[in-house]
Amino acid sequence: MKTQAEQNISARQVDFSIPYFEPIVLGLIAIFYYYIRSHFFEVPMERDEGIYAYYGQLAMEGKTPYLDFYESRLPGIFYMYGLLIAIFGSFKGLAVGITLLNIGSFLFLYHFAKSWFDEHKPTAFAVAAAALLLGLAPEISGFTRQSEHIVVFWATGGLFFLQKGLIQNRWGLLLTSGVFMCLSMLTKPNGVFFIILGGLATVLYYAQKTQIEGDGENRFKNIIVKGLIYSAGVFGTFGLLCLIMWLMGALSEMFYWSVTFSGQYATRIPWTGENGQLGGKDYFMFAFKAATKNYLYFWLIAGAGLIMNFLIKGEKNSWYKKIGLLLIAFFSFMTITPSLSFYGHYWLMLVPALALCFGAAFYSLFALSHKNQSVGWAVIAAPALLLVINITTLNKYYFTAKKDIPKVVSGTYGGNPFNEAYEIGKYVKAKSKPNDQMLLIGSEPQLLIYTGLKSATRHAYFSYLMQDSTMLNIKSWQQEFEKDITEKKPRFIVFFNHDISILANPKANFAWLNNLLSTVIPPLYKPVGYVDLLGRPDVKYVLNDAQAATYQPVQIPGQRTYFAIIFELK
Residue 519 sits in the same domain as residue 470: yes
Average pLDDT over residues 96-112: 97
**471/488: higher pLDDT:** 488
Is 128 a member of any domain? yes
Residue 342 sits in the same domain as residue 459: no
**CA-derived radius of gyration, the chain:** 26
- Residue-level pLDDT at 370: 85
**287/266: higher pLDDT:** 287
Is 422 a member of any domain? yes
Residue 308 sits in the same domain as residue 455: no
Is 279 a member of any domain? no
- Of all residues in the chain, the percent with pLDDT exceeding 70 is 94
- Whether 102 has a pLDDT exceeding 70, the answer reads yes
In one-letter notation, the amino acid at residue 339 is S
Residue 383 sits in the same domain as residue 489: no
**455/533: higher pLDDT:** 455
Domain that holds residue 202: 4-272+287-400
Rounded Cα–Cα distance for residues 396 and 391 (Å): 9
Residue 393 sits in the same domain as residue 424: no
Contact, 119 vs 15, CB < 8 A?
Answer: yes
Strand partners, 541: 531
Average pLDDT, rounded, for the chain: 90
Q: Which residues of 456-490 are buried (b: 16+ CB within 10 A; e: fewer)?
A: bbbbbbbbbbbbebebeebeebbeebbebbeeeeb
Using CB atoms within 10 Å of the CB of residue 535, give its burial: 0 to 12 exposed, 13 to 18 middle, 19+ buried.
exposed
Contact, 357 vs 302, CB < 8 A?
Answer: yes
- Whether 273 has a pLDDT exceeding 80, the answer reads no
- Residue-level pLDDT at 377: 83
- Whether 364 has a pLDDT exceeding 70, the answer reads yes
Is 406 a member of any domain? no
Residue 252 sits in the same domain as residue 383: yes
pLDDT in tens, 108-166: 999 999 999 988 899 999 999 999 999 999 999 999 999 999 999 999 999 999 999 99
Q: pLDDT band at 80, cuts 50/70/90?
A: very high
Most confident of 207-211, 398-402, 459-463, 544-548: 459-463
Most confident of 22-26, 180-184, 360-364: 180-184
Residue 393 sits in the same domain as residue 501: no
Question: Phi, psi at residue 523, to the nearest 5°?
Answer: -65, -25
Is 305 a member of any domain? yes
Domains in the chain, number: 2
Residue 131 sits in the same domain as residue 26: yes
- Whether 265 has a pLDDT exceeding 80, the answer reads no
**35/4: higher pLDDT:** 35
- Residue-level pLDDT at 191: 96
- 308-to-117, 325, 359 alpha-carbon distances in Å: 13, 11, 11
Is 409 a member of any domain? no
Q: Looking at 369, 400, 431, which one is the last position of a domain? A: 400
Q: pLDDT band at 20, cuts 50/70/90?
A: confident
* Pick from 1-15, 395-409, 417-431, 512-526: least confident: 1-15
Q: Looking at 360, 376, 400, which one is the last position of a domain? A: 400
Rounded Cα–Cα distance for residues 272 and 277 (Å): 9
Sign of CA dihedral 236, 240, 243, 245: negative
Q: pLDDT band at 88, cuts 50/70/90?
A: very high
Q: pLDDT band at 11, cuts 50/70/90?
A: very low
- Of all residues in the chain, the percent with pLDDT exceeding 90 is 71
Residue 447 sits in the same domain as residue 558: yes
Q: Looking at 376, 400, 424, which one is the last position of a domain? A: 400
Number of CB atoms found within 10 A of residue 183's CB? 25
- Whether 3 has a pLDDT exceeding 70, the answer reads no
Question: Phi, psi at residue 53, to the nearest 5°?
Answer: -65, -45
Residue 165 sits in the same domain as residue 212: yes
Alpha helices by DSSP H, listed for 414-543, are 418-431, 446-451, 474-483, 499-502, 510-515
Q: pLDDT band at 400, cuts 50/70/90?
A: confident
Using CB atoms within 10 Å of the CB of residue 134, give its burial: 0 to 12 exposed, 13 to 18 middle, 19+ buried.
buried
Phi-psi region of 335 (alpha: psi -120 to 50; beta: other; left: phi over 0): alpha
pLDDT in tens, 326-350: 999 999 999 999 888 899 999 999 9
Rounded Cα–Cα distance for residues 471 and 469 (Å): 5
Rounded Cα–Cα distance for residues 108 and 177 (Å): 12
Residue 133 sits in the same domain as residue 229: yes
Rounded Cα–Cα distance for residues 439 and 442 (Å): 9
Is 204 a member of any domain? yes
- Residue-level pLDDT at 1: 45
pLDDT in tens, 507-557: 898 999 999 999 999 999 999 999 998 766 688 999 989 898 888 888 777
- Whether 90 has a pLDDT exceeding 50, the answer reads yes
- Residue-level pLDDT at 44: 96
Residue 361 sits in the same domain as residue 266: yes
Is 407 a member of any domain? no
Please name the helix (run of DSSP H) or strand (run of DSSP E) that holds residue 439, with its range, or none. strand 437-441
Give 262-269's long-range contacts (Cβ < 8 A, gap of 24+): 262/72, 262/73, 262/189, 264/467, 264/468, 264/471, 265/72, 265/339, 265/467, 266/338, 266/339, 267/339, 268/339, 268/505, 269/339, 269/340, 269/341
